[in-house]
Each structure stands twice: as structure tokens, then as C-alpha cells.
Structure 1
Amino acid sequence: MPVLVLLRHGESLWNKLNLFTGWVDVPLSEKGIKEALKAGELLRGLRFDVIFTSELVRAIQTAMLAMAESGRVPVILHEGRMGEWGRIHGEDGKDFIPVIKSWHLNERYYGELQGWNKDRAREVFGEERVYLWRRSYDIAPPGGESLKDTAERTVPFFRERILPALEEGKNVLVSAHGNSLRSVVMHIEGLTKEEILRFNIPTGVPLVYDYANGELVRRGYLTEKGYDKDLGI
């Protein structure tokens, strides 16, 4: 039975500083590195056939670190000359995991809020307005995306690239971001606008789905104690 694992990147340096990050390409913090390695320990028993990540380094780092002890080598697939020159010769590929990057899986774009301290933003714009920008479904921050806007790029990519891999019987790891993954979960589980606003994905904790008979069924968050279906609710 194919498995889909959604993994929110570990804590980034700007998460640590309480800043709106969005599409700013900020790496993991020391805590985030540890979270990614811990996720890899938990996932050690799963053999992934393909990995999808966003274009942002914190998601790529998380995938690479999580796979560090898997016994296989994640190899980023490039296009153009990089792809041509990066071809693997003389190997059957069994020890390599293809990694596909796409901006469609990037975090929600926060527009003019990017780089703002979240507490400072509340002081300047007001608690209620910032709350709506952060937690509503279809209200976007100035110049940015709402969760609805984010879903309009993540869900088609999920349908066109990720779902076919599962249909081929492949185990898939998706390393991305809180909001991009929430929009995918909303689609998979048929959650309402109200339900997705209460749904949170913890950093560095794998969320596992089983794919069978054309459907994805949540197994739960993979923890040291086993699977927890309700951790993000």
C-alpha cells in the first residue's frame, strides 16, 4: 500500500525570531535541524520512491536531513543544462531518491508583511486585522496571498504531480510549509473553511496517509509513541 507523508519543515531562523517569512529563503535554526533529524529517525522504516519539496531552503534542508540516515541518497532533479550534466551514469538508481522542487509548494506569500515581527505588526495594524490576515481563509495580507490563494497553486500541483506517483504505487514524501501543507490537507480530507482554520501542522512531525482504492486515509502523526490522529487538531 503506497504511503504519503507530509512533513512541515523544522523551525527556521525567522520562526525563532517571530518574523513573517513567506517566500524569504531563510534556513533552519539549530532546533529546526534537530527536528528534521528526528523526523528522519521516525521515518527510517519507510522507503521513499520520490520526494517533493518547495523551492525554499528550509523545506529542502528538512528533506535532506530527514533522509540522511535512510541509506539512500536524495538527488535533486534539475532542468536544462543542470539536468543534462547531472545525469547519473553506470548506476541502476536503486540507491537514489529523486527530489522534485516546485514553487507551487512554497509557503503562503505574506506580501508586505514579510520580514515584520508579528508582535510589532499587531501594534501597528491592530490585533484583529493581523489575526484575519493570518488565520482567515480568504482574506490576504497587503500584496500577499490568502490560504485560498495558496490552495489555488498547491492543489493542482498535488493532483497533477503527487497523486499520480501514489497511483503508480510509489511512497511519497512532501517537505513543505505550514500553510501550503494545510491547503493540501484541506483538499485530501474535504475540510471546511472553519475546520482548516483550526488545523495546525507541527514542525518536524510527519503526517502519514495510506493510499488505497483511490483514496487517502489519515494514519496519523508519527511520534515516538506511535501514530496520533489528532495531534494537529
Structure 2
Amino acid sequence: MTKLILVRHGQSQWNLENRFTGWVDVDLTEEGIAEANKAGELILKEGIQFDAAFTSYQKRAIKTLWLALEGIDQMYIPVTKDWHLNERHYGGLTSLNKQETRDKHGDEQVHIWRRSFDVPPPQIDKNHEYHPSKEVKYSHIAPSELPTGESLKITTERVLPYYKSQIVPHLKAGSNLIISAHGNSLRALMKEIFGVPDDDIPGFEFPTGNPLLLDMDEKTLKPKAARYLDESRAKELPAV
């Protein structure tokens, strides 16, 4: 049976500071590094031999993957990095403290921006220091494709075509895969894999650095079983 592990990056500096991060390339904290190392220890106990790995262009996810692969002595496997697996772009909310944003705009409005499926945040200004066009890593992407403020729906529309075209063929071939990504790009994958309705998917949380192991049916691409490897930090999962 094909094994697929989804893991959200370990705690980042802006997770710690309670700021909207999105596409800003912040690093892991010491706790985040420890979570990534723990992810490797947990995966090692499962005895999985991976055929390939996928991650985003953001170093918090890349480092988490590196540390996990180091922990299982599989750093040699092919790793594909792609911006389509990046976190949701938080637009004009980027870098703002979440509590200060609630104080300014009200709890209800911030809740809509964060937890609705199809309401995007305000767009980021092109002159903003964190506009994605200012990063060389995205210079090959057409300006019209660069996100400047995404809802979960828009994020899903970015992630799923990549998943179906680049990752699904590996799963159908029976390859064991690990994907290190972000809370919202992983929600997009969860929505597809588990068939979660639009209104329900924003409510599912991915704990940082806790691998989600899926036993995948190669024909249906649906999980026959699913569990977080660290049960003490597990979150609710959709029904299998």
C-alpha cells in the first residue's frame, strides 16, 4: 500500500510572534527545529522507504523536510521544490500581528479573513516590502500569476492542479512520498484527498512538525487509514 506523509513545517519565528506570515520566508525557531527532528524520529519508527519528496520554495518547509530526511537517513531521495506548494498569501495582512489586527478590524472581520473558504484578505500593495515580486526566487513567475492576497479557495486552485499533475502520477505508480508544506497548502491537499466540503475545510488544523501518515489506495487515491504520528499533538481528521 502506498504511503503518503503530509507534514507542516515546524514552528516559525512568526508563528511564535503571532504574525500573518504567508509568503514571507521566515526561518524556524529552536522549537521548530526540535519539532522537525522529532518528525524524523517518528517517521523512522514507521520504517518507510520514500521514493521522492516535495516541498515549497519557503525555507521553513524546506528545512523541516531536510531535518526529517536526515533523521531517517534518506537525504538522497529526489526532492522537488515548487512555489505552488507555498503557504496561502495573506495579502495586505502580511507581517501584521494577529491580535493587533483584531483590535483594529474586529474579531469577526479577522475571523472571516482567516477562516472563511472564499473571502480573500486585502491585496498587498505592489510597493510593500513583502510583495512577492521583490524576491528573486519568484522572478521567473509571470506577474499575472503571482498571488497578492489569497482566500483558501484561491490557494486550493493553485495547489490542486500541481498535486494532480505532478504528485498523483507518483502515487498511482505506488511510490511512497513525503510532502513538507504549510497549514493552508496542506488543507488544500486534505480537501482533495478526503473529499472535505468547502465550508468544513477551514476548520481543520495541521499541528506544526507532526507527520500525518496516510495509507493510500493507488486506484482511488483515497486514504484507507490516516493518523498523526505524535498522538499527543494530534488534531481532528476527516472521516476515512
TM-score by length of 1: 0.86
Alignment of 1:138-157 (within 5 A): 138-143=118-123, 144-157=149-162
Aligned partner of residue 229 in structure 2, secondary structure: strand
Q: Give unpaired runs (5+ residues) of structure 1.
A: 74-95
CA shift at 1:215, angstroms? 2.6
| Number of aligned residue pairs | 209
The one of 209, 216, 221 aligned to 2:222: 216
The answer to whether structure 1 residue 193 and structure 2 residue 190 are counterparts is no
Identity of aligned residues (%): 49
Contact persistence 2:64–2:180 (CA under 8 A): yes
Aligned partner of residue 119 in structure 2, secondary structure: coil
Contact persistence 1:154–1:180 (CA under 8 A): yes
Q: Which moved more, 1:57-66 or 1:207-216?
A: 207-216
CA shift at 1:232, angstroms? 4.7
Structure-2 residue corresponding to 1:59: 61
Structure-1 residue corresponding to 2:99: 119
CA shift at 1:60, angstroms? 0.1
RMSD between superposed Cα atoms in Å: 1.6
Structure-2 residue corresponding to 1:37: 37
Contact persistence 2:204–2:236 (CA under 8 A): no
Provide the rounded CA distance (Å) in 2 between the counterparts of 1:26 and 1:116. Answer: 14
Contact persistence 1:42–1:224 (CA under 8 A): no
Q: Which moved more, 1:215-224 or 1:15-24?
A: 215-224
CA shift at 1:214, angstroms? 2.8
Structure-2 residue corresponding to 1:27: 27
The answer to whether structure 1 residue 174 and structure 2 residue 176 are counterparts is no
Contact persistence 2:121–2:150 (CA under 8 A): yes
The answer to whether structure 1 residue 97 and structure 2 residue 97 are counterparts is no
CA shift at 1:69, angstroms? 2.3
Contact persistence 1:202–1:232 (CA under 8 A): no
Provide the rounded CA distance (Å) in 2 between the counterparts of 1:119 and 1:71. Answer: 41
Structure-1 residue corresponding to 2:140: none
TM-score by length of 2: 0.83
CA deviations on 1:83-124 (whole Å, 9 max, x unpaired) are xxxxxxxxxxxxx21110011000000011111000111111
CA shift at 1:224, angstroms? 6.0
Contact persistence 2:187–2:202 (CA under 8 A): no
CA shift at 1:223, angstroms? 2.1
CA deviations on 1:161-193 (whole Å, 9 max, x unpaired) are 111111111110000000010011011111112
Provide the rounded CA distance (Å) in 1 between the counterparts of 2:211 and 2:222. Answer: 15
Aligned partner of residue 199 in structure 2, secondary structure: helix
What amino acid maps onto 1:123 in structure 2?
D
